[in-house]
A and B are shown apart, each in its own frame.
Chain A
Amino acid sequence: MAEYKPIRKVVSGNYAAAYAVKHARVEVVAAYPITPQTSIIEKIAEFIANGEVENLEYVPVESEHSAMAACIGASAAGARVFTATSAQGLALMHEMLHWASGARLPVVMVDVNRAMAPPWSVWDDQTDSLAQRDTGWMQFYAENNQEVYDGVLMAFKIAETVNLPAMVVESAFILSHTYDVVEMIPQELVDEFLPPRKPLYDLTNFEKPFSIGALGTPADYYEFRYKIQRAMEKAKEVIHEVGKEFGERFGRDYSQMIELYRTEDADFVFMGMGSLMGTVKQAVDVLRDEGYKVGAAKVRWFRPFPKEELYELAKNVEGIAVLDRNYSFGMEGILFTEAKGALYNTNAKPIMKNYIVGLGGRDFTVSDVRKIAENMRAIIEKGELDVEVDWYHLKR
């Protein structure tokens, strides 16, 4: 194994994604530009134009639906495939997302989290990706540009091991257009970590022809659904192994699906996903200095959902403040529903409260986390909730 000397570059989250695509030796990219995703595919196009990548076919398409359709075709043929999108574009892909997962194709996509319209918005919000919860795609939420880069590389390895597609999610502008130092991995070490894809079936074997995704009658459909769920369960083990291997090779450990930050001995924790959690971690440090016993639990993988890790955390805390930068109308924040549901049949029953924060790019700061901490402390002392779902920023 060659010695690991990281290459440090100052890049935006989007460029971090594009570099990861290059280093993963992706063979086909089919994508349609949509703000704030555009600079990912522009950078990839630039790599091709400059001859910096070999054997990478860029398929310009007329919509996101076609982008995903092209990815599915290329992936079925055995290629390593990538696309990227945002918000309305992801929604337009929705139907095709099922085709990718149902046919068990390990397409990897970056979704730049952006609020759904109307009102028209290009700012950060997780509702777009979380609305794809039931499509059979794995979902990784990146906190910073480094995690975008690492996430894309790991996503290919995990996806190609369990034969399910994966989404790496980064925040609009907060990550996509903000520059930060990213440690990149030399090509030959990426190659060792991520060998060429071995497709589940060889569609190019003309001696033994078959078709993918054709009719499944009631006699067979059910079993294929179960297999997707089984692959999701297996993905938890694979995520652990790949995350651990990544840590051993490159020094950043991703073996845990929920990253715990100062949670040992914490009375209550803030739970959330994505770039939001960078602010929360910083706030935890400040609050700890102020005498609060608090920690942060960053959910890295939303699908498969880390039920077991959540249970281990929930056993040891009195309260969980779930921060949702998303909303399921008629109910509550989506992570909140998931987390509560996962714990219902366990004996871990911390007080859980849902804070709806940052929708449509609304700023969320350390002082917001402090206000939430004050509120959580009061709730825990009293032993009962004031409200279950708190529209935290609402102008009242």
Chain B
Amino acid sequence: MNTLFGERKEGATKIVLKSVDEYPEAPVTLGTTLTNFTGDWRTFIPVIDDSKCVKCYICWKFCPEPAIFIREDGYVGVDYDYCKGCGICANECPTNAITMEKEEK
């Protein structure tokens, strides 16, 4: 994924462990955030209306996960592998360009 601020490493796949023997012996994080997706905690999902966006990047600054990225056209996008649905971006957006909608799973 290319953004103005660099490139997200490819090959990120979430690790799902099915049996106790697949787990590491000690509770080490199962990889880094590259493979530890916070996106599956989400109930609500931010939806961005580009027509209301003024490219202020307040949402980018406030997002507690590295989930908001700046697209090459200057608008913002959401990396859904990491967006945990906290709604901070929607709360902070000065133009109400972001709405939180219940995600269908």
Contacts and interface: CB of A to CB of B under 8 A. Distances in A.
A218 to B, nearest CB: 11
Interface residues of A, number: 20
B34 to A, nearest CB: 10
Interface stretch (A10-18, A209-217, A319-327): A209-217
Given A220-B17, A223-B17, A226-B20, A211 B25 contact: no
| Consensus secondary structure, chain B interface | loop
Contact of A163 (B26, B31, B32, B41): B26
A69 B29 CA distance: 20
A163 B27 CA distance: 12
Contacts of A392: none
Given A220-B17, A226-B20, A227-B20, A104 B31 contact: no
Interface of B: 17, 20, 23-32, 41
Contacts of B28: 201, 210-212
A200 interface: yes
A336 B24 CA distance: 36
Given A220-B17, A223-B20, A210 B26 contact: no
Given A220-B17, A223-B20, A104 B29 contact: no
A201 B26 contact: yes
13 contacts: A102-B27, A103-B27, A104-B25, A104-B27, A200-B25, A200-B26, A201-B24, A209-B32, A210-B31, A223-B17, A223-B23, A226-B20, A227-B25
Contacts of B24: 201
Interface of A: 102-104, 163, 200-201, 209-214, 216-217, 220, 223-224, 226-227, 231
Contacts of A231: 25
B23 to A, nearest CB: 5
A224 to B, nearest CB: 5
A229 to B, nearest CB: 11
A284 B41 CA distance: 63
B70 to A, nearest CB: 26
